[in-house]
Amino acid sequence: MKLAQLIAWLRDRLRTVVRVCLGLLVLLVLIDAWPGVVNKDEAHTTIERWPAFWAVFGFVGCVLLIVLSKAFGHAGIMKREDYYDD
Amino acid sequence: MTDVWLHPAWLLILGALLLPLTPARLKRGFLLIVPVLTLLRIGLMPKGTFGEVPFLDWVLVFGRVDALAHVFAVIMGLMAVIATLYSLHVRDDAQHMAAWIYAGGSLGAIYAGDLLTLFVFWEVMALSSVFLIWFRRGPQSPAAGFRYLLVHMAGGVALLTGIVLHLQATGSLAFVAFEVKQMTPATWLILTGFLLNAAVPPLHAWLPDAYGEATFNGSVFLCSFTTKTAVYTLCRGFPGLEILVPLGVVMALYGVVYAVLENDSRRLLAYHIVSQVGYMVAGVGIGTGLAINGACAHAFANVLYKGLLFMGCGAVLHMTGQSKFTELGGLWKKMPWTFALTLIGGLAISAFPLTSGFVSKPMIVAAAYADHRLGVGLLLMLASVGTFLHTGLKVPYFIWFGKRNCSESTWRRAGEPPGNMLAAMTIAAVLCLVIGCYTPSLYALLPRADVYYQPYTAYHISETLQLLLFTALGFFLLRKQLQPEPTISLDLDWFHRMLGRGVAWIAQRPVQRADNRWGELYRRAGLTPLARSADQVRRFDQGVIDGAIDGLATVVGRLGGRLRSMQRADLQQNLTLALAVVGIVLFLVYRFLV
Amino acid sequence: MSAPGIPNEFPWLSVLIFGPLAAAAVAGAIRNVRVLRWYTLAVTLAIALVSLPLYWRFDPGTAEFQFVEHAAWIPWLNVHYTVGVDGISLLLVLMTTLILPLCVAASWCAIQVRVREFMICLLLMEGAMVGVFCALDFVLFFVLWEAMLIPMALLIGVWGGPRKVYAALKFFIYTMAGSVLLLVAIIALYLQTGTFHIPALMGRPYAPGFQCWIFVALALSFAIKVPMFPLHTWLPAAHVEAPTAGSVLLASVLLKMGAYGFLRFCLPITPYATQVFMPVMLGLSLVAIVYGGLTALAQSDLKKLVAYSSVAHMGFATLGIFVLNRDGLVGALLVLINHGITTGALFLMVGMVYERLHTRDLHQAAGMGRVMPVFAAFVGVFALSSMAFPGTNSFIGEFLVLSGGFSWSKTWTLIAVPGVVLAAAYMLRLLQKLAYGGTRNPDHSQLQDLNAREILTLVLLLAFVFWIGLQPTPFTRVMESSVDRLLEQAGAVAPVSGTVGRISEMPWAQTPAPGLAVTDSGGPRSNPE
C-alpha cells in the first residue's frame, strides 16, 4: 500500500523528520512573538499576550497532566485487572 | 390532530422490525436505504408541532420541530447512516435491529414535545442499547449489560419521579426550559435523570464500563446517541443553570485524567466522551447564545469525530481481537489507512485547524471568556491539552507505532478492515474536514442565528497550533512515562458495583433469612404448639374425662352385676322387689325435688 | 342502569355464577378424559363469551350497581340473593372469566391423575369467584368466599408438589382464621343494622369505636388474602406447591379479592376507621413494596420469585387504595388488573419451564432462551411488563399510584421509588438468567420451544399487556364513576379531574363532617329500602 510505503519512507528518515518538526515549532514561536503578525486583540488577559504563551501552556500543561495523572494512578486507583472478579 | 405525520423514528423502528423478513439478497440494500430515508425525512422536516396524541388526561406531542431539535436530529440521522454502513457486514440481524431501535429512540426523544413521550423514548433507548453490550457474548457481557441496564433504570426512575412531581406542581407535561433560578425537587430529579445519561460525574461510571464491553460496531452507535441526546435535553431544559458550569469543567478534566491512565483503547475513548461532554455541559451552563451554539456545534462535530475514533479502534478490535495497548503496537505496517483515518479523527477532536473541532469547540471557550469566566476558559484549554495528548497522540502512537506488544496470532490477524468499514470511516473523516474548511455547513444549522463567530483568526490559529504542537513535544519527550500498564483504574463504579453486591447480600442473608424464620414461625409458634396442645387435650380427654366416664361405667356395671345376683328366680318376689324400689325412689323424688 | 329490586331482562350474573356450577355437576358424569378436557375448555370459553356483553352494556356514567338480580333466600334472617356489579367489580369479573380458559389450557398435559376432579374444582372455583365479586349480600358473599377455599386447598393438596399437604394446610388455616374474623364483623354489622345488604350498610353513622373494631376485623381478614406484610408467608409456600393452574388462579384472582374487600367494605362502610388506620395501612404497603422486592431478588426458585414479586405489586395496590385520592384508586384498580394479567402469564411460563425440566430452580433453567427463542421473547415482554416498562400495562398503574402517593406525601412515597428499581433488578436478573444464562449453562439442546397451545394461552395476555399499556381509556372509563362515589363515601374531598385535595387532618383533630355524624346507636335498625 502506498500509505504504508510513505510511512516506512518517513520512518527511515526519522532524524530529518524530527528536525523539520522542531524547526516548525521554532517558527511558530517566532511568528507569535513577532509584533504585528498575530492580532492579539482577542486575548482576554494580559498574560495571553505574552509571546509564545500558549506554547508554554501546552508544554507545561502536558507535562503536568502526565505527572499528576500517573501520581494519582499509582496512589491507589490502578489495580490489577481481575480486581472485580471474586 | 394534524394529518398523518411521519416521525423519522418510525422509519427506523419499522425498518428494524421488517429487517428479519427481508430476503438475504436484498438485506444489504435494505440496511443502507432505511437510514438514508430517515436522514432525508429529517432533512425535509418542516418546523412546527406535529403528532399530537390524546392519552388519558393529557395530550402527548411526538413532533416538536425547531432549530435546536433539528440540529441534533440531523447529526443523529447522519450517524445512523454511517454506523449502519460500518456494520454492514455483520450478519446478526438482531444487532442491526437493536441499533436501529436505539437510534429511533434517540430521535423520538429529541422530537418529544412533552415529558411523558421523552420518558418513554428514554427507556426505549436504555433497553435497546443494552443489547449492543450483550451481543458481544463475551464472559463479561451479561454482567456488564446487567449493570448498565440497572443504572439506566435507576436514572429512569429518578426522571419519572421528577416528572410526576413536576406534573403535580404545575399541572403541565410540556417539555420546555425549566426555571433554572428556582429549582424545585421535581426539576432536580429531572436534572439527575438527564445528568446520568450525559455521564456527568459522579453518575458517569457506567459509560466506560459499558462502552468498553460492547461489540465493535455497537460501540459506534452507543457513543453517539445516549450522551448527545442527554446534552440536547440539557440544552432544552436547563440553559443557564449555574451548577452545570463547574460540573462541566470537572468533567472535562476528570475524563482526561482517567484517559491518561487507561490501558484499553476503547475505555480510553469512553472516558474521553466524559471529557468532551463536559465542554457541552459547561456550555449549557453558561447559557449565552454563543455558548448554546457552541454546545450544539460541539455535539454535532463530536458525534462525527468520536464515531470515527470508535470506528478506528473498533476496526482494530475486529481485525485483531485486541483493544488493549499492552497487546498492540506497531500496526502501521498492517493497517495504515485505519491509522490515517483515526489520526484525522484524533486531530479533529483536538481542534486542529481545518478540522470540525477547530470551528466548534473553541466557541464554548470563547463564550466562557465573553462571560468573564476566565478560570473556566483556561481550564477548558488545559483539557484540550489532555485531549490531544491521549486521543491525538497516545491512541495512534501506542496502537500503530511504539513497541510491538502483539502476540503472533494478533499480528497475523491484523490487516485493513472490510471495505464498508473503511468507507464509513472515510465519510466521517471527510465530513470532519469539510465542516472544518467550510463553516457555513455547520453554522447554518445552529439554533441561535443571531450569534456570530469567526474561528479563523490569526490569533486563534496561532494559539491552537502552539498549544497542540508543544503538547506533542511534551508527549514525545515523556513517552516512556506513558507506556501502557496492564491495569484497570478504579472509578466511582466501585460504589455502584459494591452497592449492587451489597443489596444482593442484604436480600440473600438478612431479609431472606428473616422471612424464612417468620414463615417458619407459623410452624414453630403456631402449628407445633397447636399440635402439642391438641395432644394435651386429647390426653385429658382420653385419660380424664373418658377415664371418669369409663370408671363410672365400670362401677355401674359392677353394681348391675351385684343387683343381678340379688335377683330371685321367682317372678312374684322379683315384682315385689321392683315395686318396692320404685316406691322408695318416688318417695325420695317427691320429698326432695318438689 | 337498573335499580335494586327491578329485575333484569336476562340474569347475566346468575348465569356466570351458576353456569360453571351446573357444568361441574355435568362434568362429574363424563368418564373420558379427553372429552372432559375439551368440555371444560368449551364451558369456560362459553362463560367468558357470555361475560363480554357485561362490558358493552355497562353504563359508565353512573356509580349505581348494574345487572342487579334479587331473590329472597332466607327471609326471616333478612338474607337475600342479591348480585350486581359496578365499576370496581366489573373488570375483576371479566378478568376471572377470561383467565379460566387459560388455566384449563395450561393444565392440559400437566394434570394426568384425577382429571375429572380437577376440572370440577376449577369450575366450582370459577362460579364461587365470580360470585364473590358480584355479591351484594354479606351472607352470600361470605358463603361464596368460604366456598372458594376448599377447591383451592384441594388443588394444592391433591395435585401439588412434594410439600403439598403442608402448603394446603397453611393456606387453609391462614385464610380460615381471616374468615372467622370476617364472620364476626358480618354478624356485628347485622346486629347493629338488621340487614346484610351491602349497599345499605354503607354510609351509615356508626359509632367510632364500633367502626374501628369492624375495620380491624375486616382488614385482618382481607390483609391475609392480599397478602399484606407481615401476613404474607402463606403465599410463597402455596405458590410453590400448587400446580400451574392453581398458581395462576391464586395470583390472578384470589389475591385480588383481598384488595376488592378493602374497596367494597372497609372504605365505604367504615370510612372514619379507614382514615384512622390509614397511616398503618400505608406504612405496611410501603414496607411490602421494598420487602417484596428484596426477597424476590434473593430467590432462586422461579415460583417463589414471582410470589414475592406479587407481594411487592400488591403493596402498590394497597398503597393506591389507602391514599384515598382519585389517581391512587384508579391506579390501584389498574394495578390489580395488570398484576392479574402479567403475573398470571409469568406463572404460566414457569409452568412451561417446569413441564420441560421438572425443576423450578433458576440456575438449572439458565440459558433456556438460547434454544427457545419464542419462549425468550414472551418472557422478555412479560418481564418488562412486570417491571413497569413504559408502553406496557403496569406502567400506567404504577404511574397513577405514585402520582396519588405524591399527592398524599412526597417524602413517604419516595420510599416506594426504590421498590420500582428493585422490581427492575429482580426481573432483569430473571430475564438475563433465563434468556442468556452464564458461561456454564446446563445443556438445553433437547428442549422444544413453545407449541401452539402454549403460544395461544400467552398471546391473549400479551395483547392485553400492550392494549392496556398504550390505550388504557377503555379500562379506566368504566371505573371512574364508581371511584368517585367511593371517594365520597370514604370521606375524601370530592375530586376534580386529575389531582385531588388531601385529606388534611386526622378525624380525631376536628369535629366530623356532617354525613359522618357519629351517634351511639342502640339496637338493630329497621329494614332499609
d(CA B504, nearest CA chain C) in Å? 7
For residue B482, the SS3 value is coil
Q: Which of A25, A42, A77 sits opposite B470 (nearest CB)?
A: A25
Supply the pTM of this predicted model: 0.80
Say if A25 is an interface residue toward chain B (CB within 8 Å).
Answer: yes
Q: What is the pLDDT of residue C7?
A: 47
pLDDT tops 50 at residue C528: no
CB B467 within 8 A of CB A53: no
User: What are the pLDDT digits (tens) for B41-81?
Assistant: 888 888 888 888 887 778 888 888 888 999 999 999 999 99
Are A24 and B382 in contact (CB < 8 Å)?
Answer: no
B489 contact residues in A (CB cutoff 8 A): 73, 77-79
Q: Which of C298, C410, C414 sits opposite B512 (nearest CB)?
A: C298
Q: What is the mean pLDDT of residues C178-189?
A: 92
C-alpha distances (whole Å) from B453 to each of B67, B97, B365 are: 18, 40, 12
User: What are the pLDDT digits (tens) for A54-69?
Assistant: 888 888 888 888 888 8
Say if B483 is an interface residue toward chain A (CB within 8 Å).
Answer: no
Joined together, the cell numbers standing for residue C280 give 398503618
B491 contact residues in A (CB cutoff 8 A): 77
pLDDT tops 50 at residue C509: no
A80 contact residues in B (CB cutoff 8 A): 486-488
Q: Chain B window 500-529: which residues touch C at a Cβ cutoff of 8 Å?
A: 503-504, 506-508, 511-512, 515, 518-519, 521-522, 526-527
Lowest mean pLDDT among B262-271, C247-256, C494-503: C494-503
Q: Where are the alpha helices (DSSP H) in chain A?
A: 2-12, 14-33, 53-72
Pick from A74-83, B88-97, B584-593, C218-227 the range whose average pLDDT is largest: C218-227
d(CA C8, nearest CA chain B) in Å? 33
| Chains A and B touch, contact meaning at least 3 pairs of CB atoms under 8 angstroms apart | yes
Q: What is the pLDDT of residue B410?
A: 79
Are B257 and A72 in contact (CB < 8 Å)?
Answer: yes
Are C298 and B504 in contact (CB < 8 Å)?
Answer: yes
Are B469 and A29 in contact (CB < 8 Å)?
Answer: no
| Chains A and C touch, contact meaning at least 3 pairs of CB atoms under 8 angstroms apart | no
pLDDT tops 50 at residue B14: yes
B458 contact residues in A (CB cutoff 8 A): 37-39
Q: What is the pLDDT of residue A68?
A: 84
- Interface test mutation site (partner B, options C406, C413, C468, C470, max chain B beta carbons within 10 A): C406
Confidence of residue C2 (pLDDT cuts 50, 70, 90): very low
Place of cell 388519558: B56
Confidence of residue A85 (pLDDT cuts 50, 70, 90): low
The residue in chain B having the minimum alpha-carbon distance to the alpha carbon of residue A57 is B467
Are B168 and C499 in contact (CB < 8 Å)?
Answer: yes
Nearest to C216 by CA among C194, C184, C238, C191: C184
Q: What is the mean pLDDT of residues C433-451?
A: 77
Average pLDDT in chain B: 85
The residue in chain B having the minimum alpha-carbon distance to the alpha carbon of residue A62 is B471
Confidence of residue C504 (pLDDT cuts 50, 70, 90): very low
A7 contact residues in B (CB cutoff 8 A): 332-333, 336, 339
Q: Which one has a higher pLDDT value, A19 or B522?
A: A19
Question: What gap in Å lies between CA C152 and CA C249, rounded to an integer?
Answer: 9
Q: What phi-psi label fits residue C79: left (phi over 0), alpha (psi between -120 and 50 degrees) or beta? A: beta
pLDDT tops 80 at residue B295: yes
pLDDT tops 70 at residue C519: no
Are B154 and C421 in contact (CB < 8 Å)?
Answer: yes
pLDDT tops 60 at residue C69: yes
Q: What is the pLDDT of residue C217?
A: 93
C437 contact residues in B (CB cutoff 8 A): 142
| Chains C and B touch, contact meaning at least 3 pairs of CB atoms under 8 angstroms apart | yes
Please state the three-class secondary structure of C454-506 as a single string: HHHHHHHHHHHHHHHHHCCHHHHHHHHHHHHHHHHHCCCCCCCCCCCCCCCCC
pLDDT tops 50 at residue C495: no
Confidence of residue B93 (pLDDT cuts 50, 70, 90): confident
Say if B407 is an interface residue toward chain A (CB within 8 Å).
Answer: no
pLDDT tops 60 at residue C517: no
Angle at alpha carbon of residue A63, lines to A60 and A69, rounded to 5°: 130
- DSSP-derived letter for residue B543 is I
Q: Strand A78-80 relative to strand B487-489: parallel, antiparallel, unpaired?
A: antiparallel
A39 contact residues in B (CB cutoff 8 A): 457-459
Q: What is the pLDDT of residue C379?
A: 92
The residue in chain A having the minimum alpha-carbon distance to the alpha carbon of residue B380 is A61
Q: Chain C window 10-69: which residues touch B at a Cβ cutoff of 8 Å?
A: none
Q: What is the pLDDT of residue A37?
A: 67
Confidence of residue C514 (pLDDT cuts 50, 70, 90): very low
Are B468 and A58 in contact (CB < 8 Å)?
Answer: yes
Question: What gap in Å lies between CA C415 and CA B157, rounded to an integer?
Answer: 12
Say if C291 is an interface residue toward chain B (CB within 8 Å).
Answer: yes
Question: What gap in Å lies between CA C43 and CA C100, rounded to an integer?
Answer: 10
Joined together, the cell numbers standing for residue B220 give 459506534
Q: What is the pLDDT of residue B59?
A: 82
B124 contact residues in C (CB cutoff 8 A): 391
User: What are the pLDDT digits (tens) for B310-347?
Assistant: 999 999 988 888 888 888 888 888 888 888 999 999 99
Joined together, the cell numbers standing for residue C156 give 394444592
Q: What is the pLDDT of residue B594?
A: 58
Pick from B59-68, C316-325, C438-447 the range whose average pLDDT is largest: C316-325
Are B474 and A73 in contact (CB < 8 Å)?
Answer: no
User: What are the pLDDT digits (tens) for B168-208?
Assistant: 888 888 888 888 888 888 899 999 999 999 988 888 888 88
C440 contact residues in B (CB cutoff 8 A): none
Q: What is the mean pLDDT of residues B356-361?
A: 89
pLDDT tops 50 at residue C5: no
Q: What is the pLDDT of residue A46?
A: 64
A52 contact residues in B (CB cutoff 8 A): 466
Q: Which one has a higher pLDDT value, B516 or C241?
A: C241
Pick from B208-212, B215-219, B503-507, C251-255 the range whose average pLDDT is largest: C251-255
Say if B469 is an interface residue toward chain A (CB within 8 Å).
Answer: yes
Q: What is the mean pLDDT of residues C172-200?
A: 90
Q: What is the pLDDT of residue A42?
A: 63
CB C302 within 8 A of CB C348: no
Say if C399 is an interface residue toward chain B (CB within 8 Å).
Answer: yes
Are B489 and A73 in contact (CB < 8 Å)?
Answer: yes
pLDDT tops 90 at residue C342: yes
Say if B161 is an interface residue toward chain C (CB within 8 Å).
Answer: yes
Place of cell 400479551: C462
pLDDT tops 60 at residue C511: no
User: What are the pLDDT digits (tens) for B501-542?
Assistant: 777 777 777 777 777 777 777 667 766 777 777 777 777 776
Q: Which of C236, C294, C428 sits opposite B507 (nearest CB)?
A: C294
Q: What is the mean pLDDT of residues C47-61?
A: 89
Q: What is the ipTM of this complex?
A: 0.84
pLDDT tops 50 at residue B359: yes
> Given a contact as 3+ CB pairs under 8 Å, which chains touch C?
B
d(CA B523, nearest CA chain A) in Å? 38
A43 contact residues in B (CB cutoff 8 A): 459
pLDDT tops 50 at residue C282: yes
Say if A38 is an interface residue toward chain B (CB within 8 Å).
Answer: yes
Instruction: Encode B114-141: b = buried (16+ Cβ within 10 Å), e = exposed.
Output: bbbbbbbbbbbbbbbbbbbbbbbeeeeb
> Given a contact as 3+ CB pairs under 8 Å, which chains touch B?
A, C
> Given a contact as 3+ CB pairs under 8 Å, which chains touch A?
B
Say if B386 is an interface residue toward chain A (CB within 8 Å).
Answer: yes
Q: What is the pLDDT of residue C340?
A: 94
d(CA A3, nearest CA chain B) in Å? 6
Q: What is the pLDDT of residue C264?
A: 93
pLDDT tops 80 at residue B227: yes
C472 contact residues in B (CB cutoff 8 A): 56
Q: Which of B339, B416, B466 sits opposite A54 (nearest CB)?
A: B466
d(CA A13, nearest CA chain B) in Å? 15
d(CA B25, nearest CA chain C) in Å? 24
Question: What gap in Å lies between CA B432 and CA B270, rounded to an integer?
Answer: 20
User: What are the pLDDT digits (tens) for B255-287?
Assistant: 888 887 888 888 889 999 999 999 999 999 998
Query: What percent of chain B is modeled with pLDDT above 70?
Result: 95
B511 contact residues in C (CB cutoff 8 A): 291, 294-295, 298
Under 8 Å CB-to-CB from B266, ≥6 apart: which residues? B211, B212, B219, B310, B313, B314, B317, B323
Say if B489 is an interface residue toward chain A (CB within 8 Å).
Answer: yes
